[in-house]
Chains A and B, each alone.
Chain A
Amino acid sequence: MSALSRELAIVGVGYSELSRAGSPEPKAISLVAAKEALADAGLSGTDVDGIFEYRFGPESPGAQDMARLIGAPDLAAFGDLMPTNPSGLGAALAGAMAVASGVCETVLVFRCMTREGGYQGGVSGFSDPVLGGQQFETPYGDSGGILMTMALHKQRWMYEYGRTEEDFGHIAVNARRWSALNPRAVLRDPVTMEDYLSSRSIVAPLRLLDCDYPINGAVATVITTAERAKDLRQRPVLIDSMTYATGSRVDWNFTDDFLYGGTRDCADRLWSRSSVTASDVDVAQLYDGFTQVTVSWIEAMGFCGLGEFGDWVEGGDKIGPGGALPVNTGGGQLAEGRLHAISLLNEAVVQLRGQAEARQVPDAQVGLVACGLYPQCGAMVLKGG
């Protein structure tokens, strides 16, 4: 039994083609992902009574657009989740709550990002006076989404723990070790530690290979009850526990815990509600919008002590193919491509079904997915059915 009020299963996963070039129509690729996820589950649009999607702006069709496209007869719950959520996993968390509560029976969740219509994160161009919390950030040139905060975070991390950039480089190298085994990944060439350390500066000390890779793509997932899942096409993957977290004194820059944000609260609550512990995890999908986010999650989740990642990771082998804790087995946002991490959920599901082919982690039974950082954390523990 999980701590949820109804037992939940993830029963379908779908992807559009992931591409760096071109400018595909967001609606079109979202529909491809949605239809693939429904077909994977053995369901159709008429079975769907809830839709949730995560978005920054016009890069994605809305939940109601999707309902029309797949022919959902009516929606008992829906949501277009704006960017304070735990990244793309936010849509799955909301969808899971809708089913667990009994409001919905079967929900479709998705994230679509295109390079043309999508949020580029980096560039803004107005000199108009800034309002609210931005009064204390933007006049100093803290812009470009979270890039600057990530640079400050990386610098402080190295100082507090007396570590070097190599710690983060292990995450960049690891992404390509796995993506080489994932035909869907957009970046599949290996990178070395030397490549990482010589990659160009974005905002020093943040480097190009610390950052995820913008692509065009859409990912969809279908969630229903464990009861309903018994009659569906795939071996179900059960949600053992899940939670969001913000951390205390909620903020990106002025939160209490500048190194971990909400990740430690998220991990503590997740494990307190789970039937398993960190030592039971066979495969971990940990957000890698920036390399240091993955490091934060590994430490927060208790796989090693705080500040101990660099020694724990065994030169990277620990988290790579054949390692004791395979991490981001599809190549993640750094190499499979930037999809705001709903793709990490799908990768965990595929691993727990035993369908990951060349990158399959042998006998994977327990999966961990964690997403976001600072006040935008969310995580799930998944178990093979």
Chain B
Amino acid sequence: MSQLEDAATNGEVVDLRPPPKPDEITRFYWEAAAEGRLVLQRCDACSRFQYPPELVCTYCQHEGFEPTEVSGQATLYSFALVERAFHAGFVNQVPYVLAMIELAEQPGLRMLTNILDADPEELAIGMELELCFDAIGEQQLPQFRPAKVLR
């Protein structure tokens, strides 16, 4: 019996979302997330942040980074309301909001995220968001929610 059928039988909600599998390039990011911190690559040469992690700085191709914690302050760049699962791992998640957010540290520094603790009707591009975390398997997934204290 599948995990999903198991869950249906027992009436419990099982998290079937596929977790990230850290690799040499991304391990620092997920290790920091596990400690409740959002840490991005910051280029030693041009000082820009980048997301997602990559082997080199995608602005200047320099190969050295300082892993740097960011504030978690962000604004909503765009969002979509997913009411039907397009992945079996999300049948227990719908409806959910998939969003693109822009971090306060740098123009154009965008991340994909869900927007937690929010009524989709109240979402508006430009609204202020704050960082939170969401357990996925044994890992912590950086997420965002409407800012409780407006800046």
Chain A interface (Cβ within 8 Å of chain B)? 122-144, 147-148, 151-153, 155-156, 159, 201-206, 249, 253-254, 256, 258
Contact B80 A204 (CB under 8 A): yes
Given contacts A129-B21, A156-B100, 10 further A-B contacts (CB under 8 A): A123-B86, A126-B88, A126-B89, A128-B18, A130-B19, A135-B20, A139-B136, A140-B114, A141-B82, A253-B110
CA distance A205 to B81 in the complex (A): 7
Nearest Cβ on chain A to B85's Cβ, whole angstroms:
8
Contact partners of A140 in chain B: CB under 8 A: 98, 112-114, 141
Q: List 7 A-B contacts (CB under 8 A).
A: A125-B88, A127-B17, A136-B51, A140-B113, A141-B96, A152-B99, A152-B100
Considering the complex of A and B, which 10 residue pairs feature the smallest CB-CB distances, nearest first? A144-B86, A129-B21, A151-B80, A143-B87, A135-B20, A125-B88, A156-B78, A204-B81, A136-B52, A152-B78
A129 CB, nearest partner CB in chain B, Å: 4
Residue of B at shortest CB range from A120?
B86
Which residues in window 10-54 of B have CB below 8 A to A?
Answer: 16-23, 26, 30, 51-52
Q: Which residue from A130, A153, A202, A206 sits with its C-beta under 8 Å from B21?
A: A130
Looking at chain B, what size class is its interface with the partner chain? 35 or more
Instruction: Contact check, B86 vs A147: say whether CB atoms are below 8 A apart.
Output: yes
Report the bound CA distance from A130 to B20 in whole Å: 5
**Known contacts A127-B89, A140-B113, A141-B96; A156 and B77 CB within 8 A of each other:** yes
CB distance from A248 to the nearest CB of B (A): 9
Please tell me which one of the listed residues A122, A126, A201, A258 contacts residue B86 in the complex, with CB atoms under 8 A apart. A122
Distance A136 CA – B96 CA, assembled complex (angstroms): 17
At the interface, yes or no: B133 with Cβ under 8 Å from chain A? no
Asked whether, in the complex, the Cβ of B80 is within 8 Å of the Cβ of A249, the reply is no
Q: Which residues of A contact B98 (CB under 8 A)?
A: 140-142, 148, 151-152, 203
**Cα separation A140 to B100 with both chains bound (whole Å):** 11
Contacts A201-B83, A253-B100: A136 and B111 contacting too (C-beta < 8 A)?
A: yes
- The chain B residue with its CB closest to the CB of A253 is B112
How many angstroms between the C-alpha atoms of A130 and B22 in the bound complex? 9
Alpha-carbon separation in the docked complex, A131 to B22 (Å): 7
Cα(A283)–Cα(B144), bound, Å: 46
**Would you give the shortest CB distance from B114 to chain A, in whole angstroms?**
5
Whether the Cβ atoms of B110 and A258 lie closer than 8 Å is: yes
Cβ contacts under 8 Å, B19 to chain A: 129-130, 139
Least CB distance from A157 to B in Å reads 9
Bound CA span A132–B86, Å: 20
Q: Which residues of A contact B112 (CB under 8 A)?
A: 136-137, 140, 142, 253
Please determine whether A135 and B52 come into contact, CB atoms closer than 8 angstroms: yes
Number of A-B residue pairs at CB separation under 8 A: 131
B125 lies within 8 A of A132 (CB): no
B49-107 CB contacts (< 8 Å) to partner A? 51-52, 58-59, 77-90, 93, 96, 98-100
Least CB distance from A256 to B in Å reads 7
Q: In the bound complex, do residue A203 and residue B80 qualify as a contact, i.e. CB atoms below 8 Å apart?
A: yes
Which residue of chain A is the closest to B110 with respect to CB atoms?
Answer: A254
Is B3's CB within 8 Å of the partner chain A? yes
Residues of chain A within 8 A of B113, CB atoms compared: 140
Beta-carbon nearest neighbor of B86 in chain A: A144
Could you tell me if A141 and B100 are in contact, using CB atoms closer than 8 angstroms?
A: no
A135 CA / B96 CA spacing, docked (Å): 18
Give, as a whole number of angstroms, the nearest-CB distance from B81 to chain A: 4
Asked if B83 and A141 make an inter-chain contact with CB atoms under 8 angstroms apart, the answer reads no
Distance between Cα atoms of A127 and B3 in the complex (Å): 10
Q: Which residues of B contact A136 (CB under 8 A)?
A: 20, 51-52, 111-112
- Give the distance in Å from the alpha carbon of A151 to the alpha carbon of B79 in the complex: 8
Query: Which of A143, A159, A206 touches B125 (beta carbons < 8 Å)?
Result: A159
> A136-B111, A148-B82 in contact; A254/B52 too (CB < 8 A)?
yes
Contact yes or no, A133 B52, CB < 8 A: yes
Inside 8 A of A152's CB, which chain B residues have their CB? 78-80, 98-100
Closest to B136 in A: A139
Question: Out of B85, B87, B125, which one reaches A155, CB within 8 Å?
Answer: B125
Of the residues B3, B59, B100, contact of A258 by C-beta under 8 Å: B100
Contact B81 A138 (CB under 8 A): no
- Is A205 a contact partner of B80 (Cβ separation < 8 A)? yes
Q: Are B86 and A131 in contact (CB under 8 A)?
A: no
Q: When the two chains form their complex, are residues B86 and A143 in contact, meaning their CB atoms are under 8 A apart? A: yes
CB distance from A104 to the nearest CB of B (A): 35
B7 → chain A closest CB, angstroms: 12
**Which chain B residues border A130 with CB–CB below 8 Å?**
18-21
User: Closest CB-CB distance, A122 to chain B, in whole Å?
Assistant: 5
Q: Are A143 and B21 in contact (CB under 8 A)?
A: no
Taken together as a complex, chains A and B put the C-alpha atoms of A85 and B111 apart, in Å, by: 25
B87–A131 CB distance below 8 A: no
A143 surroundings in chain B (CB, below 8 A): 86-87, 89-90
* B52 contact set on A, CB distance < 8 A: 133, 135-136, 254
Q: How far is the CA of A206 from the CA of B86 in the complex (A)?
A: 14
